Chain A
Amino acid sequence: MAGIIIEHLKYKYPGTDRLALNDISLSIEEGEFVGIIGRNESGKSSLCQAVAGLIPSFYKGAYGGKVLIGDLEVKKVPVDELCETVGIVFQNPFNQVTGAKATVYEEIAFGLENMGIPKDEMISRIDGAMELLDISRYRDRYPFDLSGGQMQRMAIAGVIAMQPRVIILDEPTSQLDPQGRDEVFQAVQNLCSQGITIILVEHNMEKIAQYSNRVILLDDGRLIDFDSPQRIFSRGDLDQYGVEAPVYTQICKRLGHKMEDTGCYPVTLEEAKTVLRQRKGG
């Protein structure tokens, strides 16, 4: 089981007085697609790094509470072992290129070589990851010659190839064009449908609303809410947390159109269409 349980997680970076994560408790089901939203410095990246084990093992600092992935307590497992269970993709694609490999194909193999995966399996995993991210045509290119978007897809492929049960994406599409962004979201959703747990930090609320099963709302290191996108974006106090609801939700809020079954405002285009049709029909 790769469900995630976080119990009373508190964390303070070294040399600071402020809690970056303040008593966070929540539980994520296996195979769930969870979005994390909140203003800058609200603790989104810190929470991701705590789940990936980089907090506290890499950053040190004051740590309290527990993060469990299945049976593993994250704090007690070295990152080089944990990376077989949890993969993380960062915001800046350039800094994720190892620089130790001459081609995109070899770059994706880097993690697999470190994990000691046999060559045949390595090839099948790399091919699968490249196909999923639509980067097969770049296989012989020098990694640093790729554009930001291509480089980010290569970084995601490198993580996907390691077949972790949980994948964390910390603003992975911030440097991609709209088409590249959709491709990445589609690929990530495919992974989720295969039973992999996805945690995504993203400033594009439409995408968060479209893909997430549930959304974590953070502010100043505290967990404000953890619920369905419909309930989160129907909150009346989102402005207070520096979050803007998806445009469909904003329109329906102004019109006062809620969904009949949930009593929440629609968050996706499809939901908004349904609500508007119902209103028109009624």
Chain B
Amino acid sequence: MKTISLYVDKGTILNKIAPESKIWYVIAAISIPALMGIRWAGIGMIAVSAVLLLYGKVLRRTLPFLGVSGFVLLTVLIIQGMFWWGNETPLFALGPAVFYVEGLRYALGILINIINILMSFCVLILTTKPSDMMENFVRRGFSPRFGYVFISVFQIIPQMTDTMSTITDAQRSRGMETEGSLAVRIKAFIPLIVPVIMSSLINTKERALALEVRGFNSRKKKTFLNEEVKTAADRYIQIALPVLILAAAIWRITQWLA
């Protein structure tokens, strides 16, 4: 069985950079625009993420994420554009629906923040091996359970999809209709979903047993097969990004005081 992993090894330097550096990037990409309170900072970070994703050869894989969030973003734009509490200046009207400058500006801020968060996370997720990420968490003193929960998300989806397909075939072979009108599909839903959930619970129990007997909950200090690889770039990134965050915070404080 294949597993769905968002990670793609394109052999670029982004694949070689330590997960910790990319986590720092996510923190910086989110916190710097928030601290500075300038819309252009957010747009700048989106541009940086886009360049990184392009360089990492995974920009195209970001599009489905943007597509999925597009509906939410459109809703935000419509609701804020029409109903934001500070709306005063009408910009345009579509029939009875009037859109205001203030609401659209506010919605644009939200849009930039969401796209910025999404794209910076894409830099992390699309270029980092999940197992490296888990190992990184454990090395930094996090519980292995925390890392395992992160990894499990990528396992549960393909496992359930595979089980669903097997059960659908089994039920079809026994004469159950699974395709057709909405009523037919609703009728087929329960006999399909119940075995999927039951088998997933059984599989989860078996995997928990297998982890248990391999010392997953051991209180001993863990060792690692792979050495932690830190490139020169990692060292610079892990110094430069915290410094930039600090600089943004200081700049904001001086703005308040001025």
Contacts and interface: CB of A to CB of B under 8 A. Distances in A.
Contacts of B1: 94, 144
Interface stretch (B23-31, B42-50, B206-214): B206-214
Contacts of A232: none
Interface in A73-130: 78-81, 83-84, 87-88, 90, 92, 94-96, 98-102, 105-106, 109-119, 122-123, 126
A119 B215 CA distance: 17
Contact of B212 (A58, A95, A105): A58
Contact of B209 (A58, A78, A142): A58
B225 interface: yes
Interface residues of A, number: 44
Contacts of B161: none
A133 B189 CA distance: 43
Q: Which of B3, B154, B209, B210 has the most CB of A within 10 A?
A: B210
A54 interface: yes
A96 B9 CA distance: 25
A102 B155 contact: no
Interface stretch (B116-124, B144-152, B164-172): B144-152
A169 B203 CA distance: 19
Contact of B222 (A79, A90, A96, A113): A113
A158 B223 CA distance: 16
A145 interface: yes
Contact of A90 (B206, B217, B224): B206
Given A99-B151, A114-B218, A116-B220, A106 B225 contact: yes
Q: Which of A52, A78, A99 has the most CB of B within 10 A?
A: A99
Nearest to A155: B210
B223 A122 contact: yes
Nearest to B134: A100
B125 to A, nearest CB: 15
Q: Size class of B's contact patch?
A: 35 or more
A232 B217 CA distance: 40
Contact of B213 (A54, A99, A112, A119): A54
A80 B225 contact: no
Contacts, number: 109
A114 B220 contact: yes
B214 to A, nearest CB: 4
B200 to A, nearest CB: 11
B221 interface: yes
B213 A52 contact: yes
A118 B223 contact: yes
Nearest to B222: A113
A94 B206 CA distance: 10
Interface in B136-158: 144, 147-148, 151-152, 154-155
Contacts of A145: 2
Interface string A118-160: 1100110010000000000000001011000000000100110
A162 B220 CA distance: 14
A122 B225 CA distance: 7
A164 B189 CA distance: 46
Contacts of A88: 213
B213 A87 contact: yes
Given A79-B217, A119-B225, 17 more contacts: A54-B212, A78-B217, A80-B216, A83-B212, A83-B213, A83-B215, A96-B207, A99-B152, A100-B151, A114-B215, A114-B216, A114-B222, A115-B220, A116-B221, A144-B1, A159-B214, A162-B215
Interface of A: 52, 54, 58, 78-81, 83-84, 87-88, 90, 92, 94-96, 98-102, 105-106, 109-119, 122-123, 126, 142, 144-145, 155, 158-159, 162
Across chains A and B, which 6 residue pairs bring their CB atoms closest together, nearest first?
Answer: A114-B215, A111-B214, A95-B206, A109-B225, A116-B220, A80-B218
29 contacts: A54-B213, A79-B212, A80-B215, A80-B218, A83-B212, A84-B215, A87-B213, A88-B213, A90-B210, A92-B206, A94-B1, A95-B203, A95-B206, A98-B210, A98-B211, A99-B155, A102-B130, A102-B132, A106-B226, A109-B225, A111-B214, A113-B223, A115-B218, A116-B218, A119-B223, A144-B2, A144-B3, A159-B213, A159-B214
